[in-house]
A and B are shown apart, each in its own frame.
Chain A
Amino acid sequence: QSALTQPPSASGSPGQSVTISCTGTSSDVGGFNSVSWYQQHPGKAPKLMIYEVTKRPSGVPDRFSGSKSGNTASLTVSGLQAEDEADYYCNSYAGNNNSVFGGGTKLTVL
């Protein structure tokens, strides 16, 4: 149950796009189409932004999109806005009703 690998930080200017990667193995990210992404503002609970690699829950702006290639999933935030500044965590199903999170990426809007 090793954590998925995310870059510790990412940044972009308002209006730009930024992509955050999430690398696992064939036992988690690569083995299932069940990667989720969570946004967490300081002192707040996480919020589901993307599930099943590419799907957005109701109410999440379409500026947020997900993809996957092999053992690496990605979250892209387009048209960056100030309120997008937060920590982002990926999560992947890892079999037998277990899941594993990434270490988190702090997104800074410059």
Chain B
Amino acid sequence: EVQLVESGGGLVQPGGSLRLSCAASGFTISSYAMSWVRQAPGRGLEWVSSIRGIIASTYYADSVKGRLTISRDNSKNMLYLQMNSLRAEDTAVYYCAKDSSGWSQGVFDYWGQGTLVTVSS
């Protein structure tokens, strides 16, 4: 059974850093593209970042480029999102999502339960 479990969210001050983790089970993350998708309170979904299967190329939305870094540890079957220089507008629930293929085409067939990141002083 495929499962994705996020952790690492919390309250952080503007300009601060946070690292989100996503523990995957039931499949091998290096065989699929993996993504982070966020949802600000009361707002819609926003694709944030993806990492391709096999070759591990990374991709980012313009709104987070240069501040957020996606990575994975194949030996632990874990996905990460390092978040630096955080802003109030980064406040959201962050979902870890598995794509249905090795490249990120927006077909997210499994999602985690989400972890809330709040950026506030």
Contact = CB atoms under 8 A, between A and B. Distances in A.
Interface of A: 1, 3, 32, 34, 36, 38, 40, 45-48, 51-52, 57, 89, 91-93, 96-104
B47 A104 contact: no
A45 B112 contact: yes
Contacts of A38: 45, 108
20 contacts: A1-B63, A34-B105, A34-B107, A36-B108, A48-B107, A48-B108, A91-B47, A91-B106, A92-B106, A93-B106, A97-B33, A97-B50, A97-B59, A98-B59, A98-B61, A101-B37, A101-B45, A103-B44, A104-B44, A104-B45
B44 A98 contact: no
Contacts of B33: 97
Contacts, number: 73
B53 to A, nearest CB: 11
Interface in B59-75: 59, 61-63
Given A38-B45, A45-B113, A97 B103 contact: yes
List 5 tightest A-B contacts by C-beta distance, closest first.
A99-B106, A45-B111, A104-B44, A97-B104, A91-B106
Contacts of B45: 38, 40, 46, 89, 91, 101, 104
B32 interface: no
Interface in B69-121: 95, 100, 103-109, 111-114
Nearest to B52: A97
A46 B95 contact: yes
Interface in B33-55: 33, 37, 44-47, 50, 52
Contacts of B50: 97-99
B104 A98 contact: yes
